[in-house]
Amino acid sequence: MSAAPAAIALDRITKTYAGTHAVNDLSLEIGTGEFFTILGPSGSGKTTTLSMIAGFVMADGGRILLNGKEMTQEPPQARGLGMVFQNYALFPHLNVFENIAFPLRVRRFADKEVKTRVLEVLSMMSLIGFETRLIRQLSGGQQQRVALARALVFAPSVVLMDEPLGALDKNLRYQMQNEIKELQRKLGTTIVYVTHDQEEAMNMSDRIAIMDKGKVAQVGPPREVYENPRTAFLAKFLGEANLVPAKLRAGAVETPMGAFPVPGAPAGGEGEGFFFIRPERLVVAREPSGEVHAKGSIRAISFLGNVVRYRVALGEQEVTSEMTSGRGDLGLGLGDAVAVSWAPDDGRWLAE
């Protein structure tokens, strides 16, 4: 760990509502300049965690440090954070310029300085010419940009974002993801991003924390969390997963489809759990093509555009395979006998 303090350090924070733990003994360190995403199902505590960082909700226990300074009981206005809200929370009684100038006005910046700074972010966000518009005269995408400009105008070192793209449609959403990511890289801002959209989380983040029931279930870079989930919940929550009930015996897993070696499984261990493999690692064909395979028949084929999804019955068990849609199809039909093949490295053992 470096000598500089973490941008944000949460040290065993807890928040209880009506006797149930919304957040339970949670610790996290977020580095300066990091794009850090908190992902989780609704009710997992991700919004409560963000609210505690912002200061809207006070932790019942534990400590919150921002750039090394204790902030646990400080009100929001003392924390100096930028924030983009879920539905933007732009002030409807102010025009675009005054919305963006708000943090500067409150800080009593001179008019001249306010003007310079606001114009700077306006041009950064391609909003020149919109200064005197009212918020309700803007499209969703423009409102998003104003919210972003307001969060950045006073150059805070940390910006919190609470599902900022939730209200935009697919195409605009993807475009804004890239813009935010590029902006963050350029400005070196630390971003804490809350979302329930996994693709968004993987596309933008340096690290992802997946929360479940008030705790962090796993933290790490997107690829690591995707490829090596620690539990069956994580495997299913991030991406699609085949989870075949299995028994571990002498370093190999026994499944209804047969017994396979699995890398990384505890050599001497025994127990019940799952054999886990991602759909895109399974190859469906008339003949086996990988080192490991199982035989079965096709139950369903769905064309999903960029991929084709096959559901294959292997005895009682059903697995899903996803393959890139080529020109024409593989000539496979419902009920056809096929082999499902994979590389031994692609399977994992998950003890529940």
Partner 1 sequence: MRRHPLSFCLSRAGIFLIALCLLAPIVVVLVISFSADSYLRFPPSSFSLRWYQRFLGDQRWRDAMVNSAVIGVMASLISTTIGFFAAYALLRARHGIVRGLEPVFLLPLIVPHVITAIGLYFVSGKLDLIGNRAWVAAAHSVLAIPVAYIIQQSALKAMDPALERAAMVFGCSRLQVLRRVTLPLAFPAIASAALFSFLTSFDEVVVTLFLAGVKAQTLPVRIWNSLVLEVEPTIAAVSSLFIAVTFLVLMLNRALRISRS
Binding stretches for partner 1 (CB under 8 A): 54-56, 58, 75-77, 79-83, 85-87, 89-93, 102-103, 106-107, 150, 154
CB of 94 to partner 1, least distance (A): 9
Q: Are strands 258-261 and 252-255 parallel, antiparallel or unpaired?
A: antiparallel
Q: Which does 58 bind (CB under 5 to 8 A by kind): partner 1, a copy of itself, none?
A: partner 1
As a whole number of angstroms, the distance between CA 46 and CA 181 comes to 21
* 169 part of the interface to a copy of itself, by CB under 8 A: yes
Task: Tell me the H-state helices in 55-169.
Answer: 96-106, 111-124, 140-152
Short-list 211, 168, 155, CA closest to 36: 211
CB of 308 to partner 1, least distance (A): 36
Interaction between residue 306 and a copy of itself (CB under 8 A): yes
- What are 216's strand-pairing partners? 211
Rounded least distance, CB 187 to partner 1, Å: 18
- Contacted entry of partner 1, a copy of itself, none for residue 95, CB cut-off 5 to 8 Å set by kind: none
Binding partner at 87 among a copy of itself, partner 1, none, C-beta below 5 to 8 Å by kind: partner 1
Which residues ranging from 175 to 194 are in contact with a copy of itself (CB under 8 A)?
A: 178, 181
- Is position 45 an interface residue for a copy of itself (rule: CB under 8 A)? no
**Cβ closest to partner 1, residue 17 vs residue 303:** 17
Size of the site for a copy of itself (CB under 8 A): 36
255, 245 in Cβ contact below 8 A? yes
250: CB partners within 8 A, 6+ apart: 267, 268, 270
Q: Which residue among 113, 120, 291, 345 contacts a copy of itself (CB under 8 A)?
A: 345
CB 153 within 8 A of CB 184: no
> Nearest approach, Cβ of 134 to a copy of itself (angstroms)?
23
Q: If contact means CB under 5 to 8 A according to the sort of partner, which of a copy of itself, partner 1, none does residue 92 touch?
A: partner 1
Rounded Cα gap, residues 324 and 339, in angstroms: 17
The correct pick among 63, 133, 295, 311 for binding a copy of itself (CB under 8 A) is 311
Q: Which of 50, 309, 321, 339 binds a copy of itself (CB under 8 A)?
A: 309
Rounded Cα distance, 121 and 73, in Å: 32
E-state strands within 196-251: 207-212, 215-220, 242-249
d(CA 227, CA 245): 19
> Where would I find the beta strands (DSSP E) of the chain?
8-17, 20-30, 35-39, 61-66, 69-70, 82-84, 158-162, 190-195, 207-212, 215-220, 242-249, 252-255, 258-261, 270-277, 283-285, 292-303, 307-314, 317-324, 337-342, 348-350
Give the three-state DSSP class for 29. strand
CB of 139 to a copy of itself, least distance (A): 13
Give me the least distance between CB of 352 and a copy of itself, in Å please.
17
Lay out the site mask for a copy of itself across 261-300 (x = CB under 8 A, - = otherwise): -----------------xxx-------------------x
Binding site for a copy of itself (CB under 8 A): 41, 169, 171, 178, 181, 198-199, 202-204, 222-223, 226, 236, 238-240, 278-280, 300, 302-307, 309, 311, 322, 324-325, 327, 343, 345-346
